[in-house]
A = this chain, B = another copy of it.
Amino acid sequence: MKNKYVIGIDLGGTKICGAVASFEGDIISKYTIPTEAEEGEEAVLARIITVIEKVIEESKVVEDEIVSIGIGSPGPLDAKEGKIITTPNLPFKNFNIVKPIKDKFNIPVYLDNDANAAAIGENVFGAGKGTDNMIFITVSTGIGGGAVLNGKIYRGNTCNALEVGHMTVERNGPRCNCGNYGCAEALASGTAIGRIAREAVERGESTSLSRFEKITSYEVFKEAEKGDAVAQNILNEALNYLGICVANIITSFDPEMVIIGGGVSKGGTVVFNKVQEVVEQRCFRAMWENTKIVPAALGTDAGVIGAVALAIMESN
């Protein structure tokens, strides 16, 4: 029987990372170059093609054993059309990135946003292996998400499903970058935790946070761990809102598993205990008892593994 491989491309604002991998998720070859986004659409496209050529060459895999290519990219994008609509750190504007790559390599090419690719990665190779219905959420600078429902990625009507960072969790909460008030992202993202801490210091609250020149969520986690009451309170509030967001996801999707990744999830037990506590308060017992809330399993290669998993899921 012929061996089968796919190519995954993790397209980011600073670098393009590609890999050839087996259907079991073993990376055969990997290659990374800077994106150089300022050079424009065609130049970045050419660099993606270079990465693909390079990983094929280095993998020593026979070219017709490679069955498809998956690309994970920041959105918003149109996965069905293969178009990147617009995204802050890449030059593409309504640019069909799938067609030229498909024409070049003569195999199917699949595009999806990075949160969906990460969700698929966790489903195929990570914490969600073996689940049919799972939600992945990433909590870092922003809050995003992706869903695998009935064993397939669920994109929704405009490829924007699981924009859970913009779920309203506090009617009169702070203004979010999106224009709405009280979004989960404005109350529970890493960025929000840092901002709320800086505001506390500026108000003159008595906290060990005031000795830092730059306060991010990292310092808030550290000082809370050391016993600073202000930091603990900020974290508790933010995680309460994250818990409400997760509870609403469980109430809506009734998933087998909610996987939480991103910088804030690195906070570990303090994060997962609080989220679990809020979920148990706010969801039906029959639902929370059957929903595991767990950290993401994929590490530094999550982006490219997600793109590999996208190629595999869409090839099945």
| Interface, chain A (partner B; CB < 8 A) | 76, 132-133, 149-150, 152, 154-164, 166-171, 178, 180, 240, 244, 247-249, 251-256, 281-284, 286-287, 290-291
The 8 closest A-B pairs by CB, nearest first: A156-B254, A161-B254, A157-B256, A160-B254, A180-B282, A167-B248, A158-B290, A163-B251
Contact B159 A254 (CB under 8 A): yes
Q: How many copies does the complex hold?
A: 2
Docked complex Cα distance between A18 and B161 (Å): 37
User: Are A163 and B281 in contact, with the CB atoms below 8 A?
Assistant: no
Q: Are B286 and A252 interface neighbours, CB within 8 A?
A: no
9 more contacts with CB within 8 A, not counting A167-B252, A180-B283, are A150-B152, A156-B254, A161-B254, A162-B252, A162-B254, A166-B283, A168-B248, A171-B240, A252-B252
In the complex, which residues of chain B have a beta carbon less than 8 angstroms from the beta carbon of A169? 168, 171
Would you call A157 and B171 a contact (CB within 8 A)?
A: no
Report the bound CA distance from A149 to B152 in whole Å: 11
Q: A281's closest neighbor in chain B, by CB?
A: B180
- Contact across chains for B168 and A247 when beta carbons are under 8 A apart: yes
Give CA–CA (A155, B253) in the complex, Å: 8
Question: Is there an interface contact between B244 and A168, defined as CB atoms closer than 8 Å?
Answer: yes
Q: Which residue of B lies closest to A249 (CB)?
A: B252
Give the residue name and chain of the B residue nearest to A165 (CB). Answer: B251
A-B contact pairs, 27 of them (CB 8 A): A76-B286, A149-B150, A150-B150, A155-B254, A157-B256, A157-B290, A157-B291, A158-B254, A158-B286, A160-B254, A160-B286, A161-B253, A162-B254, A163-B284, A163-B287, A164-B252, A166-B251, A166-B284, A167-B251, A168-B169, A168-B282, A171-B244, A178-B284, A180-B281, A180-B282, A249-B252, A252-B252
